[in-house]
Structure 1
Amino acid sequence: MAVLSPSRPSTGRAGRTAITALAPAVWGTTYVVTTEFLPPGHPFFAALLRALPAGLIALAITRTLPRGMWWGRAAILGVLNIGLFFPLLFVAAERLPGGIAATLAASQPVIVVVLAVVLLRERPSGWRTSWAVAGVVGVGLVVLRPSSAAFDLVGVFAALGSAASMALGVTLTKRWGRPDGIGPTAYASWLLTAGGLFLLPVTLIAEGAPPSVDGPAVLGYLWLGIVGGLLAYIVWFRGIAELPVTSVALLGPLSPIVAALLGVLVLGETLGPLQLAGFALTVAAVTAGQLSPRSSRSAMENPRTPKERTHQ
């Protein structure tokens, strides 16, 4: 028993991290689904269907509503994580070349590192800060392409605003936790519903009447709503509760990486040597950001077996 006990926390941590990573990986399918299945010109409608129906379905399943202060907290977290994040991201995508928008949005882990110090009183981590910056560079190498598009200040602020909104939402989600007795499904239902209700008037103002929907679009909206919405956010919020917030944030660059891979596999795009180097750097940043430099250094300095350490 004593020999096995040191390995249990690391194994559990690795499993929770792998499960949490599924959320940004699934979000990386959004671009392909949007371009190949959904009617063009209605990104806000897609964001609305990604959030509100999933939230209402989960509410109907769990039959659990917030109580007391959690009405306000759920509204704030829903707007930051979903309701405000989606519109800003779409504005950035419309006004900037996609690579620039994705690179600026990938700054979210860097912002989370700062907010974790301010709001969570965590000690600054040079290790995770360095890998967060490396992740931004890696994403930039993968997605940036030569473009003649003009520099758009509104688009830049929208991209940075989306990253800041999500970063603040993630950090406050960690700070406030979940009420006692509330599972991740009920918790996700509150935030998805709050974000969807915020998106409802925004969508009507920005896009007007909803588009006509055919069979492929129905499948696309179902994927975004059920898999990319409800299931992904249940996994994401559970990961925020169980893992260090900076580690979770450093999983974010998986989203543009998966999008780039699907561009190669599905859309016939190509990756040159620079993009491949960026891909390797991003994967290294995501992986290294999950490690503790103290434990890694200790393992290198004292490479004894677990059995030897138990007899120390």
Structure 2
Amino acid sequence: MKAYLLLALTPLFWAGNVVSARAIHADLDPVALAFLRWLLVLLLILPWGLPRLWRSRAVIRAHLPILLLLSVLSVTCFNTFIYLGLQDTTAANSAMLQSAAPVVIVLLNFMLLREGLSLRQWAGTLVSLAGVTVLVSQADLSLVLGLDFNRGDIWIGVAVLAWSLYSVALRGRPEGLDGFTLFAFNVLIGTLLLAPFALGRLGGPVEIQWNLPVVSAVIYMAIFPSILAYLFWNRGVAELGAARASLFIHLIPVFGVLMSVLFLGESLYLFHGVGILLIFTGIYLATIRRTTGRKAGTKS
């Protein structure tokens, strides 16, 4: 029961990250927000992470290229792109678009690792991408034909691509590096790479407003969707397995939409329902049914 609670809290924290970022998008530059979030995470985990990194220095040195790639995709790029997107799109749209990540991962596995796709998986990929198109275009065919999409939605799409590439690249993670040490390395390198971009934008068009909502949001992002979500997710996967745990990811758009309506006063329209229905249908065809079928085959 505890594992289920931890896995339910994880997507709640991740959805809260999106809603919090949207709530303060006018008060803090998005790149500076990403940097401050990960800098605080780094300061919080350094007492435990630094000794682990030192003990694993030989493994890190031997696998430096793949570890650098994982750091760039996860810490430097993913949330930074999400925060950039939330300057121009809603938290609800962002949460819904992120739900397409499982299908993007399936497609990247086919393109980069040559994993075969069944006809059902191809159908699921196309259906899910159709849902993304409905969300981004707001079901307006003229926007699709004119390629006139919301800039924020495009940033969210690039963020989903970065996270999906990270998920695929995780296959190259060295076996001699435990999860927390990998997390500490990603945070350390990702934060260092973000620093020059963030410092260069501090005098930019969005002047930082050091008020209670901004400070509270940065603290929340550092603790809940970063550290606690990581620990809760690992515990849940260890107890229930990756297959069952992965289903909880689909709660992100549910929590995201509810929180964006309750706390931000965002409106939902028919195209939101159509888009998320198509995305979920695509995920079911491309991922969930495949996992169920594999289990059934094993039992027989």
TM-score (norm: length of structure 1): 0.68
* 2:108 maps to 1:115: yes
* 2:40 maps to 1:53: yes
Compare 225-234 and 121-130 and name the one that shifted more.
121-130
Count of aligned residue pairs for this structure pair: 282
Gap runs ≥5 in structure 1: 1-10, 300-305
Q: Is the 8 A contact 1:170 1:240 kept in 2?
A: no
User: Which whole-Å CA distance do the structure 2 matches of 1:162 and 1:196 have between them?
Assistant: 17
**2:173 paired residue among 172, 177, 188:** 177
Q: Is the 8 A contact 2:103 2:128 kept in 1?
A: no
Work out which of the two has the higher radius of gyration on C-alpha atoms and give 1 or 2: 1
User: Which whole-Å CA distance do the structure 2 matches of 1:45 and 1:131 have between them?
Assistant: 37
User: Which whole-Å CA distance do the structure 2 matches of 1:19 and 1:290 have between them?
Assistant: 21
C-alpha distance after superposition, 1:220-253 (max 9, x if no partner): 1111011112233455678899637xx95x8666
Match of 2:242 in 1: 243
Which structure's residues are more often helix, by fraction? 2
* 2:62 maps to 1:64: no
Q: Looking at both structures, which has the greater relative contact order when contacts are Cα pairs under 8 Å and sequence separation is at least 6?
A: 2
Q: Is the 8 A contact 1:75 1:194 kept in 2?
A: yes
**2:15 paired residue among 24, 28, 38:** 28
The Cα of 1:215 is off from its aligned counterpart by: 3.1
User: Which whole-Å CA distance do the structure 1 matches of 2:46 and 2:175 have between them?
Assistant: 16
User: Which whole-Å CA distance do the structure 2 matches of 1:240 and 1:177 have between them?
Assistant: 18
The Cα of 1:52 is off from its aligned counterpart by: 2.8
**1:290 paired residue among 283, 288, 291:** 288
C-alpha distance after superposition, 1:43-77 (max 9, x if no partner): 11221122232134323213211532244332210
* 2:221 maps to 1:224: yes
Gap runs ≥5 in structure 2: none
* 2:173 maps to 1:188: no
User: Which whole-Å CA distance do the structure 2 matches of 1:48 and 1:280 have between them?
Assistant: 34
Q: Which amino acid aligns with 2:47?
A: A
User: Which whole-Å CA distance do the structure 2 matches of 1:162 and 1:195 have between them?
Assistant: 15
Indicate how the Cα distance of structure 1 residues 57 and 41 shifts in structure 2: closer, same or farther if over 3 A, else same: closer
User: Which whole-Å CA distance do the structure 2 matches of 1:229 and 1:51 have between them?
Assistant: 8
Match of 1:263 in 2: 260
SS of 2:288's equivalent?
A: coil
Indicate how the Cα distance of structure 1 residues 116 and 35 shifts in structure 2: closer, same or farther if over 3 A, else same: closer
Indicate how the Cα distance of structure 1 residues 112 and 251 shifts in structure 2: closer, same or farther if over 3 A, else same: farther
Indicate how the Cα distance of structure 1 residues 218 and 156 shifts in structure 2: closer, same or farther if over 3 A, else same: closer
Match of 1:151 in 2: 148
User: Which whole-Å CA distance do the structure 2 matches of 1:140 and 1:239 have between them?
Assistant: 33
Q: What is the CA RMSD across the aligned residues, in angstroms? A: 4.4
Indicate how the Cα distance of structure 1 residues 98 and 225 shifts in structure 2: closer, same or farther if over 3 A, else same: closer
The Cα of 1:100 is off from its aligned counterpart by: 7.0
Indicate how the Cα distance of structure 1 residues 125 and 203 shifts in structure 2: closer, same or farther if over 3 A, else same: farther
Indicate how the Cα distance of structure 1 residues 21 and 121 shifts in structure 2: closer, same or farther if over 3 A, else same: farther
TM-score (norm: length of structure 2): 0.70
